Amino acid sequence: MGDEDWEAEIITPHLSSYVPVFEKDRYSSGANGDTFSKTPASSSEMDDGPSRRDHHFMRSRFASGRSLGNRGFQDGNASEASSSSRRGGKGGFRGGRGGFGLGSPNSEYEQDEGTQRTGGLFGPRRPAPSGPGNGDVYPSRSGSGRGGYKGLNEEVITGSGKNSWKSGAEGAESEDTQGPKMTYVPPAPPEDEDSIFAHYQTGINFDKYDSILVEVSGHDVPPAVLTFEEANLCQTLTSNIAKAGYTKLTPVQKYSIPVVLAGRDLMACAQTGSGKTAAFLLPILANMMRDGITASRFRELQEPECIIVAPTRELINQIYLEARKFSFGTCVRAVVIYGGTQFGHSVRQIAQGCNVLCATPGRLMDIIGKEKIGLRQVRYLVLDEADRMLDMGFGPEMKKLISCPGMPSKEQRQTLMFSATFPEEIQRLAGEFLKPDYLFVAVGQVGGACTDVQQTVLQVGQYAKREKLVETLRSTGDERTMVFVETKKKADFIATFLCQEKISTTSIHGDREQREREQALGDFRCGKCPVLVATSVAARGLDIENVQHVINFDLPSTIDEYVHRIGRTGRCGNTGRAVSFFDPESDRHLAQPLVKILSDAQQDVPAWLEEIAFSTYVPGFSGGPRDSVFASVDTRKNYQGKSTLNTAGFSASQAPNPADDESWD
Ligand SMILES: Nc1ncnc2c1ncn2[C@@H]1O[C@H](COP(=O)(O)OP(=O)(O)OP(=O)(O)O)[C@@H](O)[C@H]1O
């Protein structure tokens, strides 16, 4: 069913019985001021246009929930066969990073965070590329419409019919120009200690992390640290780690922390939900404390020591909360800025002092263009979801960032990159950002799915998907479930449909206003709406407690995106389940990489999927540059045989220092 069909369906009479629940927005902190000196006014909901319906219905009691159960941890790569489905082994398909979208940026993100930036310092604006279905206008039943151009610097809100903006270089605040203003001021997070340190429990498989193979490649690899004590972080940091409930390091932390403490550049790949955020935050904060950082004071131009970028607003906010938690009680001040919010609010947050700046790329470039941030003091540059940050969508933006006036060269800063997926093409691009002697930490199946997620792939045709979705959701009872669809329009449609089915649902996608997105996430987090329909904007990084279930109503276009999506469950040693609807009409290209991903994670591979994979077999399709347990490896594989290969429980040995090392920087 094409987008047009979905649109047609949305306005068909069967939906006319849908009565949106009009909820008064929880957030009261709208602000009118959009310049630095103005004081935020009280609530001004109208600034964001009329409040919209949300998909909030109380779910009636359905059939009793089926427990996921705890899948036993499966170690190693052994395969075994069963009759109707086979546990895939390493044989058969050596699926590569099939479908990697270097050439096809995810337009959802681009619409989300603006990838083609303004002129001025950073060159001319270009229109953001859009994919099928994106940028379309959902015909709102309330009449308010989702119209309006979205994307680029995000400084445009809906409803004006003006698709315009103006670059900083053109002499005005982005939102002060022809387009309507972003006036949303996000509510400040709670400041009491309990809230700051609130955390969820590690799962039954947390200790199994120790048996995951870790490979560190590069020269002079610092030994891993096995415990927090061994890491010798400062006292306040150690106390914060304890308050956060961390008692034991995860593998990516064991290996990355000493690398960062030693001042080395790093590219680290580890499975979703395995603690990558703390792996960079803790050593950066420790270094800052060690170097005697001074508290930054109120100033219009701030010069942060650390800049962290991530592709979505919700993710960068989450990283900020982690930074705030670990820096609690220190003089380090973390600040977050992201699109979809009032620019003046970002300026005010920064002016109060800023050591660690967490930002989405669009807002970051705007704020630099406005000279509210100076880059001279930057010692740490972190790209979370680095493969996404360097692909065609955000890559140009990141290049502009590192060539901004004042930004220390890569020799003078530490650059850290983290992700669960790291395609080779992107690794090559990353060289431009990293010192030639950077270290590459690979934990387990890099680019592989989290082994704590039980994956099921069902063959479901487009027209049968809705029925199957309802059936699946009814069988899972009140389990918190994320349902991924491919387009924003379809997200609205499916959320509306589920509400009609009396399944309490909300949605998040790039066409929703930021306030709505945050409310949707909040409602999902607290369980008010146990079902969240999402586009890929929610695929990466989000760490939400108790997400037991991910449903790929539509499979994504790339296997990497699949890995990130299903990684919203099964986090931190907890188990989860992912069900994917495979439509042979549209998803054939994913058959091969899916078989590989399932095989590598010791999951059942349906016979029909293998058949499709065989029938679409592409000669030369392989799992990577070498037949390795690592789905993706350090592309500088002239290091081959010179890297350290350990289980996470043992310290890495020093890597040899080959004279023939070839820098590809
Ligand atoms: N050592 C630890 N002990 C206990 N909990 C931890 C530890 N490290 C991280 N966590 C928790 O595990 C969860 C997942 O961590 P995080 O979000 O950093 O994962 P991630 O690897 O970045 O995932 P993704 O690839 O999806 O971005 C978080 O709730 C975090 O607080």
SS (H, E, C) 66-97: CCCCCCCCCCCCCCCECCCEEECCCCCCCCCC
Q: Are residues 336 and 425 in the same domain?
A: yes
Atom 5 (ligand 1): residue with closest C-alpha?
246
Please report the atom of ligand 1 found closest to the CA of residue 322: 31
Could you list the residue range(s) of the whole structural domain that residue 565 is in?
A: 453-615
Q: What is the pLDDT of residue 637?
A: 58
Please report the atom of ligand 1 found closest to the CA of residue 315: 27
Whether 532 maps to a domain, the answer reads yes
Q: Does residue 560's CB lie within 6 angstroms of at least one atom of ligand 1?
A: no
Band of pLDDT at residue 303, cut at 50, 70 and 90:
very high
The 10s digit of each residue's pLDDT in 83-100 is 334 444 333 333 333 332
Q: Does residue 626's CB lie within 6 angstroms of at least one atom of ligand 1?
A: no
Q: Are residues 341 and 224 in the same domain?
A: yes
Q: Are residues 223 and 370 in the same domain?
A: yes
The 10s digit of each residue's pLDDT in 62-71 is 333 333 333 3
Maximum CA extent, the chain: 73
Atom 20 (ligand 1): residue with closest C-alpha?
273
Q: Does residue 339's CB lie within 6 angstroms of at least one atom of ligand 1?
A: no
The structure's pTM equals 0.75
- C-alpha 276 – ligand 1 centre gap (Å): 6
Atom 14 (ligand 1): residue with closest C-alpha?
273
What value does the mean pLDDT take over residues 483-488? 97
What value does the mean pLDDT take over residues 610-623? 74
Q: Does the predicted interface ipTM exceed a cut of 0.90?
A: yes
Whether 30 maps to a domain, the answer reads no
Q: Are residues 207 and 291 in the same domain?
A: yes
- C-alpha 253 – ligand 1 centre gap (Å): 10
The angle that helices 3-10 and 488-500 make with each other, rounded to 10 degrees, is 40
Band of pLDDT at residue 447, cut at 50, 70 and 90:
confident
Please report the atom of ligand 1 found closest to the CA of residue 385: 27
Please report the atom of ligand 1 found closest to the CA of residue 543: 17
Please report the atom of ligand 1 found closest to the CA of residue 248: 1
Strands 439-443 and 213-217: antiparallel
Question: At residue 121, does pLDDT exceed 80?
Answer: no
Residue 266 sits at the vertex; the CA angle it makes with 262 and 267, to the nearest 5 degrees, is 160
Q: Does residue 572's CB lie within 6 angstroms of at least one atom of ligand 1?
A: yes
Whether 541 maps to a domain, the answer reads yes
Higher pLDDT, 561 or 623: 561
Higher pLDDT, 531 or 108: 531
Atom 8 (ligand 1): residue with closest C-alpha?
275
Q: From CA 18, how far away is CA 457, in angstroms rounded? A: 31
Asked which of 388, 408, 443 is the last residue of a domain, the reply is: 443
Q: What is each CA distance from 278 to 165, 238, 284, in whole angstroms?
A: 37, 12, 10
Q: What is the mean pLDDT of the chain?
A: 75
- C-alpha 546 – ligand 1 centre gap (Å): 13
Task: Report whether 636 contacts 239 (CB < 8 A).
Answer: no
Q: Are residues 199 and 302 in the same domain?
A: yes
Q: Does residue 277's CB lie within 6 angstroms of at least one atom of ligand 1?
A: yes
Band of pLDDT at residue 473, cut at 50, 70 and 90:
very high
The 10s digit of each residue's pLDDT in 260-280 is 999 999 999 999 999 999 999
Asked which of 443, 468, 485 is the last residue of a domain, the reply is: 443
- C-alpha 273 – ligand 1 centre gap (Å): 5
Q: What is the pLDDT of residue 9?
A: 36
Q: What is each CA distance from 226 to 201, 236, 645, 647, in whole angstroms?
A: 21, 20, 15, 11
- C-alpha 222 – ligand 1 centre gap (Å): 23
Q: Does residue 318's CB lie within 6 angstroms of at least one atom of ligand 1?
A: no
Q: What is the pLDDT of residue 200?
A: 86
List, as own/partner pairs, every contact residues 258-263 make where C-beta atoms lie below 8 angstroms and the sequence separation is at least 24, other chains included.
258/222, 258/223, 258/224, 258/225, 258/231, 258/283, 259/216, 259/221, 259/222, 259/283, 259/439, 259/441, 260/284, 260/287, 260/414, 260/416, 261/222, 261/231, 261/286, 261/287, 262/222, 263/287, 263/414
- Phi, psi for residue 578 in degrees, rounded to 5: -125, 130
Whether 421 maps to a domain, the answer reads yes
The 10s digit of each residue's pLDDT in 600-615 is 999 999 999 999 999 9
Q: Does residue 203's CB lie within 6 angstroms of at least one atom of ligand 1?
A: no
The 10s digit of each residue's pLDDT in 12-24 is 323 222 223 323 3
Higher pLDDT, 628 or 222: 222
Please report the atom of ligand 1 found closest to the CA of residue 274: 21
Q: Does residue 542's CB lie within 6 angstroms of at least one atom of ligand 1?
A: no
Q: Does residue 567's CB lie within 6 angstroms of at least one atom of ligand 1?
A: yes
Whether 384 maps to a domain, the answer reads yes
Band of pLDDT at residue 122, cut at 50, 70 and 90:
very low
Atom 9 (ligand 1): residue with closest C-alpha?
275
- C-alpha 247 – ligand 1 centre gap (Å): 13
Q: What is the pLDDT of residue 343?
A: 97
DSSP letters spanning 334-389: EEEE-TTS-HHHHHHHHHT--SEEEE-HHHHHHHHHTTSB--TT--EEEEETHHHH
Q: Are residues 376 and 467 in the same domain?
A: no
Q: What is the pLDDT of residue 295?
A: 84
Q: Are residues 331 and 425 in the same domain?
A: yes
Q: Does residue 246's CB lie within 6 angstroms of at least one atom of ligand 1?
A: yes
Q: What is the pLDDT of residue 180?
A: 63
- C-alpha 425 – ligand 1 centre gap (Å): 26
Structural domains in the chain (count): 2
Output the domain CATH number for residue 575. Answer: 3.40.50.300
Please report the atom of ligand 1 found closest to the CA of residue 249: 1
Q: Are residues 465 and 431 in the same domain?
A: no
Please report the atom of ligand 1 found closest to the CA of residue 418: 22
90 alpha-carbon distance from chain centroid: 29
Q: Are residues 439 and 466 in the same domain?
A: no
Question: At residue 230, does pLDDT exceed 70?
Answer: yes
Strands 306-309 and 356-359: parallel
Q: What is the pLDDT of residue 386?
A: 98
Higher pLDDT, 85 or 165: 85
Atom 4 (ligand 1): residue with closest C-alpha?
246
Q: From CA 604, how far away is CA 457, in angstroms rounded? A: 9
The 10s digit of each residue's pLDDT in 386-443 is 999 999 999 999 999 999 999 999 999 999 999 999 999 899 999 999 999 999 999 9
Asked which of 381, 410, 443 is the last residue of a domain, the reply is: 443
Higher pLDDT, 484 or 621: 484
Q: Does residue 570's CB lie within 6 angstroms of at least one atom of ligand 1?
A: no
Q: What is the pLDDT of residue 182?
A: 87
Q: From CA 355, how far away is CA 358, in angstroms rounded? A: 10
Q: Does residue 241's CB lie within 6 angstroms of at least one atom of ligand 1?
A: no
Question: At residue 512, does pLDDT exceed 70?
Answer: yes
Whether 514 maps to a domain, the answer reads yes
Whether 139 maps to a domain, the answer reads no
- C-alpha 209 – ligand 1 centre gap (Å): 12
Q: From CA 351, how far away is CA 578, in angstroms rounded? A: 43
Q: Are residues 386 and 460 in the same domain?
A: no
Q: How many other C-beta atoms lie within 10 A of the C-beta of residue 594?
A: 31
Sign of the dihedral defined by the CA atoms of residues 493, 495, 496, 497, in that order: positive
DSSP letters spanning 3-67: HHHHHHHHTSGGGTT---B-PPPS--------STTSPP-S--GGGG-S---B---PPPP-SPPPP
Q: Does residue 576's CB lie within 6 angstroms of at least one atom of ligand 1?
A: no
Q: Does residue 275's CB lie within 6 angstroms of at least one atom of ligand 1?
A: yes
Q: How many other C-beta atoms lie within 10 A of the C-beta of residue 191?
A: 9
Q: Which two tokens stand for residue 194?
A: 């309990």
Question: At residue 81, does pLDDT exceed 60?
Answer: no
Q: Which residues contact 436 (CB under 8 A, 6 or more apart)?
A: 663, 664, 665
What value does the mean pLDDT take over residues 348-359? 98
Band of pLDDT at residue 619, cut at 50, 70 and 90:
low
Higher pLDDT, 621 or 162: 621
Q: Does residue 447's CB lie within 6 angstroms of at least one atom of ligand 1?
A: no
Q: Are residues 274 and 308 in the same domain?
A: yes
Q: What is each CA distance from 93 to 63, 450, 591, 617, 633, in whole angstroms?
A: 39, 19, 10, 9, 18
Whether 331 maps to a domain, the answer reads yes
Q: Does residue 609's CB lie within 6 angstroms of at least one atom of ligand 1?
A: no
Q: Does residue 117's CB lie within 6 angstroms of at least one atom of ligand 1?
A: no
Tell me the three state secondary structure of residue 576: strand
Band of pLDDT at residue 478, cut at 50, 70 and 90:
confident
Question: At residue 227, does pLDDT exceed 80?
Answer: yes
Q: Are residues 460 and 322 in the same domain?
A: no
